[in-house]
Chain A
Amino acid sequence: MPAIITLKNITKYFQEDHKNILVLNDISLEIQAGEFFILVGPSGSGKSTILRVASGLEKSFKGQVVLSPEVKKGDMSFVFQQFALLPWLTVYENIELGLLAKKISPKVKHEIVNRELKQFGLEKFARSYPKDLSGGMRQRVGIARALAPDPKIIFMDEPFSELDSFTAEELRQELLQIWIQRKPTIIMVTHIVAEALELADRVAVLTPRPARVEKILKNTLPRPRQMRSSDFFLLEDQLYQLIKP
């Protein structure tokens, strides 16, 4: 199967106090269509930077990002760690934001937003502003906004790290359901090993700064995954050994 997105020899420097600091050191990745791909690594290793390079938000880097021909720029969505909802827009309008650039009729837009509101149990909050919602509900809006345009690739930057563990688990299950139904490609960053193994088809382990790909681990555990099975723990141990602090 051809890759939906390919990163070729991505190298990136940050400028700090007039010094160039290497953050990404020759990163190459190939991600398949429909894959759930996760990047793990110590904090500050440049995981988020890889997502921003791949999604086109970060423009200054060396190397190449190659998209398969059927992916246009508007076919990519992003879920942010701190939700990035616009506080002056209602929940409805925030979800609609993902559709504004699309050439579809207002009626269809309305249907899509309502579909997403229903999917995430947000109907009651359509007219609320983000500040009136709990963290979990806010990130549901963030994910709904990302899904509304029916994207081919969704980037997720530690989407559950700002939530309490119960809410995070609930949202992971919802996300898995949606991923199984709609089959978008998901490229996600996390620093939680169990989360990576619960969700991903493949997990790329990054080294501390400057980030290199240490290893890509295949996760063939059948779904739904038993997080307390010995196979899961074995894989978790394996992954922990690969991650250097």
Chain B
Amino acid sequence: MSKTPRHRMKIYKSSLHLAATFLLIVAPFLFLLFFSKIEQIAVSSLFQDVFASILRLLIAFIIAAILAWVLAVLFYKGPLSHVALPIFDILQSFPEFAILPLAVYYLGRTNFTVIFFLVLTVIWPILFSVLSSLKLVKHDWEEAAEIYQLSGFNYFKKYILPLSIPGLITGSIIGVGEGWGAIVATEIIVNIKGGLGNFFQSHTQSPMITFFGILAVLIIVFSINKLIWAPLLDRSHQLMEE
């Protein structure tokens, strides 16, 4: 293997940055502990509910991201794109929650049902973002890739993947954002054991618990955005800068 020179990424710019990162990591945990203490909810069940939902969302996101990326790469150009893009547009508006009760009836109150419907929510923003970043490719770049006959793995690694990453990240941010809303609703409708939907439903009589629960979700979302998405977005913009 030849060594390809690469910029070393400097992760922490200063000790303040390091401290802020640390705070972002511990804040959700601290808040959940505080929450369970104040409202006298068992710590373990609170953490289990939160992590059950995060895990479902994570799995749904990974499946949606891979599917969206593959669909976008397959259909962003070429003769099939004229057929595929309008179909995506219609499917995007498909009211998936309308068939959720039916799905519960046939598939049961399972993780599979919840994750399946989450995928249907999360996939569209990712798909359309990747599509738009691929469609905005400079004609020059396409010609360079063609004249130097990039194909197969090199085409993937040096061309399509880097090109689609900014769209993949922006789409993921929007998709996961919608996913947080959808997961609570889906879990309530499916009435699955464990998870935030279950948590909110079993505390309907307490506005305080509902309020703290929502606050906990917001803190978690904020931390994940700051820790994961914001740096990724930054980096991807840097790489595309000309």
Contact = CB atoms under 8 A, between A and B. Distances in A.
Interface of A: 52, 55-57, 73-74, 76-78, 80, 82-90, 92-93, 96-98, 100-101, 106-107, 109-110, 126-127, 129-131, 145, 149
Size category of the B interface is 20 to 34
A100 B140 contact: no
Contact of B150 (A73, A97, A109): A97
11 contacts: A84-B143, A84-B144, A87-B242, A88-B163, A88-B240, A90-B6, A96-B4, A97-B150, A97-B158, A101-B151, A131-B242
Nearest to A94: B144
Contact of A126 (B5, B141, B154): B5
B143 A78 contact: yes
A100 B158 contact: yes
B144 to A, nearest CB: 4
B56 to A, nearest CB: 33
A107 B149 contact: no
A106 B1 contact: yes
A198 B242 CA distance: 32
Contacts of A87: 239-242
Contacts of B10: none
A97 B144 contact: yes
B96 interface: no
A86 B1 contact: no
B90 interface: no
Given A106-B1, A130-B242, A97 B6 contact: no
A73 B140 CA distance: 19
A100 B150 CA distance: 7
A158 to B, nearest CB: 13
A85 B7 CA distance: 17
Nearest to B149: A101
B144 A100 contact: no
Given A84-B143, A130-B242, 5 more contacts: A57-B143, A86-B159, A92-B4, A93-B4, A127-B6
A92 B141 CA distance: 17
Nearest to B7: A127
Contacts of B158: 86, 89, 93, 97, 100
A206 to B, nearest CB: 21
